[in-house]
Amino acid sequence: MYPAHRPRRLRSTPAMRRMVAETTVRPSQLVLPMFVKEGATEPVPIANMPGVLQHTRDSLRKAAIEAVEAGVGGLMLFGVPEHKDAVGSGGIDPDGVLNVALRDLKAELGDETVLMSDLCLDEFTDHGHCGVLDEHGRVDNDATLEIYGQMAVAQVEAGAHLLGPSGMMDGQVGAIRSALERAGHVDTGILAYAVKYSSAFYGPFRDAVESSLQGDRRTYQQDPANVREALREVRLDLDEGADMVMVKPAMLYLDVLRAVAEESDVPVAAYQISGEYAMIEAAAAGGWCDRRTAILESLTSIRRAGADVVLTYWAVEAAGWLR
Ligand code: PBG
């Protein structure tokens, strides 16, 4: 009698495979990142991210309602300001594009979804770095923390439920937590980009936010070669009061995601970034893979590696398939 074991039995029909599936993806586990462009009178397609738009205030509102109706778990907002300056003033201005958009969505959706905001300076600075620069042109960690604290308060007062600091400054979670506590916003949480690698795959996003970055972010984002460092970042953020931790990018760092999921005692998110999105879209457009199967496989893999929540530009479409 050979073979004695036949694993294929459990794969024999769709119903059988469904019954024994270990990993599932639910719409409520997906978060949609969205861009809003100041002064735009019409939504602008993002060339390197087919299907993704820079929204106007109005189209953002409509798309957000649609996303919530599709069942996605939350929205992550990014602002594209009309004017940028050296210190990223648009980020702390209550009338800055991101804060205005948060206020719009809060008025529209209340607590029906989880409103998250990117808490970082790169969208708002004319040099494109995630922090302010010192007199030598280096990113000044502690001066940046001061501004992050002010941004945090502005975003919460505009309606954010969860803040997403993505600048990789040391001590950012602690600085934001204490700014929130001082302002009385004790119930607003922090989704810490605890582990964020310096990745070539952010390319399309930088177009999406019209980034003017010269050079790279290697003095603050992590080296793709390291995983021990990622675990240290997670421990520090948990220590400083992170309510959730995120790993980014996702697909190229599934081993890191697994390690973080084992270390973390708070929910873990993963960000399937713009370049990961663009790669699959390009392959599908070329007829090199089946688009829907590839997207669902990528989301399943990110969940299987340990993510409780996945930020993905396909959130709405995938939610439709998964319902
Ligand atoms: C920084 C930020 C970035 C992304 C999210 N927040 C870009 C960067 O560090 O250059 C990238 C998201 C993506 O590529 O989809 N504010």
Residues spanned by the domain of 75: 23-322
Our count of domains for the chain comes to 1
Position 162 scores a pLDDT of 98
* Minimum-distance ligand 1 atom for the alpha carbon of 205: 14
Asked if residue 16 is part of any domain, the answer here is: no
- Flag whether pLDDT at 212 surpasses 90: no
pLDDT tens-digit map of 100-122: 999 999 999 999 999 999 999 99
Which residue type, as a one-letter code, is found at position 168? Answer: M
Report CA(208)–ligand 1 centroid distance (Å).
10
Distance CA 284, CA 301 (A): 18
Asked if residue 189 is part of any domain, the answer here is: yes
Position 1 scores a pLDDT of 85
Asked if residue 17 is part of any domain, the answer here is: no
**Residue carrying the six token digits 């808490």:** 119
CB of residue 104 inside a 6 A radius of ligand 1: no
Asked if residue 37 is part of any domain, the answer here is: yes
CATH number at residue 205: 3.20.20.70
User: Are 130 and 139 spatial neighbours (Cβ–Cβ below 8 Å)?
Assistant: yes
Q: Catalytic annotation on 196?
A: yes
From residue 233, how far is each of 30, 169, 170, 236, 238 by CA, in Å? 24, 11, 9, 5, 9
Is 274 within any annotated ligand binding site? yes
pLDDT tens-digit map of 116-145: 999 999 999 999 999 999 999 999 999 999
Asked if residue 102 is part of any domain, the answer here is: yes
- Flag whether pLDDT at 244 surpasses 90: yes
Is 17 within any annotated ligand binding site? no
Asked if residue 2 is part of any domain, the answer here is: no
Distance CA 272, CA 205 (A): 12
Distance CA 176, CA 154 (A): 11
Residues 248-275 have a mean pLDDT of 98
Report CA(22)–ligand 1 centroid distance (Å).
31
- Flag whether pLDDT at 305 surpasses 90: yes
Asked if residue 4 is part of any domain, the answer here is: no
pLDDT tens-digit map of 24-54: 999 999 999 999 999 999 999 999 999 999 9
- Which ipTM was obtained for this model? 0.96
* Minimum-distance ligand 1 atom for the alpha carbon of 275: 14
- Flag whether pLDDT at 195 surpasses 90: yes
Is 6 within any annotated ligand binding site? no
- Of 165-174, 183-192, 203-212, 232-241, which range is least confident? 203-212
Position 56 scores a pLDDT of 98
Asked if residue 218 is part of any domain, the answer here is: yes
Report CA(117)–ligand 1 centroid distance (Å).
12
